[in-house]
Structure 1
Amino acid sequence: MSQDHPIRTLPGLIVVTGKSFDHEAPDEGDVVTALDTATGQERWRVNGKVDLAGDDRVVVRQDDHSLLVYEADSFRLRWQVTDVHASAVHAQTRAVVAVANDGRIIEHDLDSGVVRKLGRVTVPLGDGASVHIEDSLIVVRPWSPREPMESPLESQFFSRKSLEPIDPQDLPSQLRLNCGLVICSYATDEDRMSILDRESGGLLWRSRPGQVGVPMGGSLLIYEGEGFAQALTEPRTGAVRVDLAGWRILPTRGPDMVPLVIHAGPDGRIRLGVLESNWVRVVGVLPVEVTRCVYRAPLLACSVPQQQIGVWRIAP
């Protein structure tokens, strides 16, 4: 899950990102705190940008350009490296990809820190950079506050298998994703999704600009912008099976990927529902206003008023 979300979960832990609760270090950037789900007690705390790698590793990148990998439960340090300009985690292959200050791009083994592959970034890194890992591609995007928005720094693309650079002209003009019964295709020069037949590749229908699709059972869930759901559709025709206007999809972690949605009604009540094949089954009403939520069965954790975290046990 993205490190930008203020609430994340690990087995037995709720991980909260914010500023120091006691203001001891107001200039230290993000403070990430892990709370025990059973007691609410603090288990560990660290300053820096934190990625959760699977269910058992925590990757911390600190302002002094060090990268540290800890065991999630005990917070025991496993390994560390220095001079890291940017990094990203690929939990499926147990890998950490780091861009060093000297321009090297390095794939480390998540568990041991051993170097698996080496490459080199040849574009200027600027004052910072971000690393994005996709199925077959790694993208390094430099940035600088001194660069005008109309002429951003050049990104560089690398092969996931070899860390060899890829010419942008060799990239496919369309990104095709498995959407269950159909293929979801995204053209690089358009802000909309095309739904293609799995067998022939022919166009079945197109979404509105900004929409994306996620397979869910035998349906296709359409949403856009910050997880706002639009509809549960019939994949091959786009016909609406369930109108989800006003419902927000909750990030879900863990093996039980229950499709939870939340809705703030005109009466002020916060309804929590489970998305079924052709309807939303309301499973409860939350007693307070909530903002950012994440679910790991059976616990739902949300930001609530007065800078607190509310935790509920949900059994859909």
Structure 2
Amino acid sequence: MTAVLIDLGDDWGTGRAPEPEPPAGRRGPLRRAAMLACAVLCALTVTAAAPAPPRRLTELARWFQPVAAISAVGSDTFLVNAMDGVAAYGATDGRLRWRIAGGLIDWVQDTGDVVVLGFAQPESTSSQPRLPLADAVAVDRRTGRVLWRTQAYLEQVAGLLVSYAGDPDRPAVEVRDPATFGLRWRVPGARSFALDRWGTGLWELAADGKLVEHDLASGAVRRSARVPLPPGDKVSVVVSRDAVGIAGRRFDADGFERTTDTLWYARADLAPVGGENRWPWVVDCGAGTSCAYPLDRGKPQLIDTATGTPIRPLEDTRHVGSPAGLLLFEAGDEVGSKIRARVEPMRHQERTDVAGWQVLSVTEQVAHVLGRVDQARTATHLAELTADGMRPLGRQPYVLMQCVSVPHALLCTTTGGDVVIWRVGRERA
């Protein structure tokens, strides 16, 4: 903005005629100094009225280390996996907390204070199907102290560890304590089972044909009932938000396994119910919505998390959730490619303010950080996704590859092989 100075003269308002002005370019030194001071004051006033946005990223640590994977556990710890093992760094100060020797990890299970690392095993040369076992190592998240080791295929559900062993088609199920790996209970020889993430339970179709609901923590039987089964060469239990289903499956003439029929029973009383809007796989898609996927056929849907009401179909779109709404990609594009639009959370309309950006950070299938590389490919513009939309984080002099985030901290890797940790400052109102 340009400051404009209007000189009304020294005798303005006195009633006397003003003195003739000196020729242009011959103003006195005192008047020129006064005009310069006034212009500077006006410029400072304008600048103070519109301060530059504060820097939101403060670099805590940066080092060179080619890495294979990065992840976040809890709200205060970053994990960096390199060829020689896993190292943990504090998100508040960027300092190394602990390190465990090993190789590459296949998975990380975060149960709170206990983190289980699944180190990859050599690929099996057996032609027999087998579970993807890993060398599991449980450590204290804060200190890195090793709590136990085992070979297992594990997943974390409701703060517990569920392990699978034996035949991949009919594995034995064991529920174990994360701190000690002590066995809580097991289901041997079940025809089929399904974890109930809505009701923190496990449904089993027992060998005698009864449908049994177990409490996940204790294994106690909550209820059991004999229900009709659908036709098929084999049957399996599936669980949705408010119903439990039994799906019949059969191989077709081409050798592909198909669902013949699925019978659904209400969760409350196991009375038969219809199959409309039954989604066995539901994942958080941010902003109070979930992405719901059908058992075999049918259209995936974006649904309201609280009510289960469908919002819009998701067929033929690549998508990932975010606090700013569902992010959409062009058909056939991967999630790491450029974003096409986002579904605005309130009215569920598409907005293109994120078009051209790329997802850099995904936590539990919800994107939090976006990046956009400049034309010279020497820097990356960063932004975070919030309930209010996309908020800029600033420009960093690196081309970033991937990031992980926790509240108020961010870790990224660069194309040059660096690892960088930043503190994320709060946005000024």
TM-score normalised by the chain length of structure 2: 0.49
Equivalents in 1 of 2:220, 2:235: separation in Å? Answer: 25
Q: State the partner residue of 1:308.
A: none
What displacement does 1:133 show?
Answer: 2.3
Cα 1:252/1:286, change in 2 over 3 Å = farther
Q: State the partner residue of 2:165.
A: 62
User: Of residues 84, 87, 95 in structure 1, which corresponds to 2:193?
Assistant: 87
| Higher percent of residues as strand | 1
Q: State the partner residue of 2:31.
A: none
Q: State the partner residue of 2:131.
A: 29
Equivalents in 2 of 1:222, 1:191: separation in Å? Answer: 18
Q: State the partner residue of 2:220.
A: 114
* AA aligned opposite 1:104: K
Q: State the partner residue of 1:231.
A: 341
What displacement does 1:115 show?
Answer: 0.8
Q: State the partner residue of 2:369.
A: 261
Give a deviation string over 1:245-304, Cα, whole Å, max 9, x none. Answer: 532661339xxxx852365859598987531323254488999956xx87666898999x
Instruction: Say whether the 8 Å CA contact 2:229–2:246 is kept in structure 1.
Output: no
Cα 1:159/1:282, change in 2 over 3 Å = same
* Farther-moved stretch of structure 1 (230-239 vs 281-290): 281-290
Q: How many residues align?
A: 287
Instruction: Say whether the 8 Å CA contact 1:84–1:101 is kept in structure 2.
Output: yes
* AA aligned opposite 2:326: L
Cα 1:151/1:26, change in 2 over 3 Å = closer
Equivalent residue runs for 1:95-244 within 5 Å: 95-119=201-225, 120=227, 122-124=229-231, 126=233, 129=236, 131-143=237-249, 148-149=255-256, 151-166=258-273, 170-172=274-276, 191=299, 209-210=316-317, 216=323, 219-223=324-328, 230-234=340-344, 235-236=346-347, 238-240=349-351, 242-243=353-354
What displacement does 1:126 show?
Answer: 4.0
SS at match of 2:224: strand
Give a deviation string over 1:204-242, Cα, whole Å, max 9, x none. Answer: 9887743678683xx533446876665344332614163
Cα 1:105/1:302, change in 2 over 3 Å = farther
Instruction: Say whether the 8 Å CA contact 1:35–1:42 is kept in structure 2.
Output: yes
What displacement does 1:108 show?
Answer: 0.1
- Aligned Cα root-mean-square deviation (Å): 5.4
* Farther-moved stretch of structure 1 (7-16 vs 66-75): 7-16
What displacement does 1:78 show?
Answer: 1.1
Give a deviation string over 1:2-44, Cα, whole Å, max 9, x none. Answer: xxx9444221344455752697999752224244244385743
Q: State the partner residue of 1:306.
A: none
**Residue segments in structure 1 that go unaligned for 5+ positions in a row:** 304-310
* AA aligned opposite 2:275: L
Instruction: Say whether the 8 Å CA contact 2:184–2:217 is kept in structure 1.
Output: yes
Cα 1:163/1:249, change in 2 over 3 Å = farther
TM-score normalised by the chain length of structure 1: 0.63
What displacement does 1:69 show?
Answer: 0.9
SS at match of 1:97: strand
Cα 1:252/1:186, change in 2 over 3 Å = closer
Cα 1:22/1:181, change in 2 over 3 Å = closer
Q: State the partner residue of 2:385.
A: 275
Give a deviation string over 1:64-97, Cα, whole Å, max 9, x none. Answer: 5422111122211111221123323234432111
* AA aligned opposite 2:362: L
Q: Which has the larger radius of gyration?
A: 2
* AA aligned opposite 1:29: L
Instruction: Say whether the 8 Å CA contact 2:247–2:261 is kept in structure 1.
Output: yes
Does residue 12 of structure 1 match 2:113?
yes
* AA aligned opposite 2:133: V
What displacement does 1:146 show?
Answer: 6.7
**Residue segments in structure 2 that go unaligned for 5+ positions in a row:** 1-105, 414-418, 425-429
Give a deviation string over 1:184-217, Cα, whole Å, max 9, x none. Answer: 9989887475899xxxx9x99887743678683x
SS at match of 2:389: coil
Give a deviation string over 1:36-71, Cα, whole Å, max 9, x none. Answer: 2443857433424x33121x2112232254221111
SS at match of 1:242: coil
Cα 1:164/1:82, change in 2 over 3 Å = farther
More contact order relative to length (CA 8 Å, sep ≥ 6): 2
